[in-house]
Amino acid sequence: MKMGKHISLFLHLLITINVFEYFGFFLVEATETVALLENKPDGLKKYLKQLVKNSPPVTESAAIVVNCNPFTLGHRYLIETASKENKQVHVFVLWENLSTFPNDVRYRLVCEGVANLSNVTVHKAEKYMISAATFPSYFLGDKENVIKSHTELDVKIFGKYIAKALNISTRYIGEEPLNQVTNQYNQALKKRSIKIWCRGQRVKTNRNIQTA
């Protein structure tokens, strides 16, 4: 097996992790039912180092994780609200290319949309936040119990590693009344030690809820 390319492997723990470790994979994190492994021992460590390098040193900050397909006034409102209420805000743009707008376009639109907010730093979420590796249900709309397993893993990685590296104590989320997967993910976040602030980022037009 060629191991030059960086590969992430998502497992349901019906098969022992040791089998894949034997073939050169390294455990990133696991829950009772699922696990994330990579073929590089320091993939997450390098990502965290890059995040810290690109961020101002603060003792406390807030975070927002967005897809922005595309970037809208609703996203702008959520980010601007967080910017007013916190010294530093980290915005993570999902990096899976499974949306209508490519990841580089979505990232550029977010950067341009918040360029005047001096305390906002925009990051690429890479594969460690709501990706096909950590949270495939977000893109597949899988069954409820599977969604729960994926949610636990993704939230655990965020809280244990990313939030710790950037001193994130608060995570802002938008209202998602029509999205079961996002709602369940937000509920899982509320069970963590990180404070959750829900801000309305939906725009209602003609009595219909429009996705921001």
- Radius of gyration, CA atoms only, the chain: 17
Asked whether residue 134 is assigned to any structural domain, the reply reads yes
CATH number reported for the structural domain that contains residue 152 in this entry: 3.40.50.620
- Whether residue 49 sits in one domain with residue 33: no
- Whether residue 106 sits in one domain with residue 156: yes
pLDDT at 205 over 50: no
pLDDT tens digits for 141-177?
A: 456 667 777 888 888 999 999 999 999 999 998 766 5
Q: Three-class SS of residue 74?
A: helix
Number of compact structural domains in the chain: 2
- Whether residue 144 sits in one domain with residue 97: yes
Regarding beta strands 61-66 and 26-30, do their DSSP bridges make them parallel or antiparallel, or are they unpaired?
A: unpaired
- Whether residue 49 sits in one domain with residue 131: yes
- Whether residue 49 sits in one domain with residue 26: no
Q: For residue 64, what are the β-bridge partners? A: 91, 172
- Whether residue 17 sits in one domain with residue 120: no
Rounded Cα gap, residues 43 and 36, in angstroms: 12
Mean pLDDT of all residues in 175-184: 65
- Whether residue 47 sits in one domain with residue 33: no
pLDDT at 6 over 70: no
- Whether residue 33 sits in one domain with residue 120: no
- Whether residue 163 sits in one domain with residue 141: yes
Alpha-carbon dihedral of residues 155, 121, 198, 86, nearest 10 degrees?
A: 120
pLDDT given for residue 149 in this prediction: 78
Report yes or no on whether pTM surpasses 0.85: no
pLDDT at 211 over 50: no
**181 vs 83 pLDDT, higher one:** 83
pLDDT given for residue 68 in this prediction: 94
Q: Using an 8 Å Cβ cutoff, are 97 and 126 in contact?
A: no
pLDDT tens digits for 12-57?
A: 555 678 888 888 889 999 888 888 888 899 999 999 999 999 999 9
> Dihedrals φ, ψ of 134, to 5°?
-95, -25
- Whether residue 53 sits in one domain with residue 34: no
Helix count and strand count (H, E) for the chain: 8, 10
Single-letter amino acid code for the residue at 189? L
Q: Using an 8 Å Cβ cutoff, are 66 and 94 in contact?
A: yes
- Whether residue 142 sits in one domain with residue 48: yes
pLDDT given for residue 204 in this prediction: 40
DSSP state of 78: H
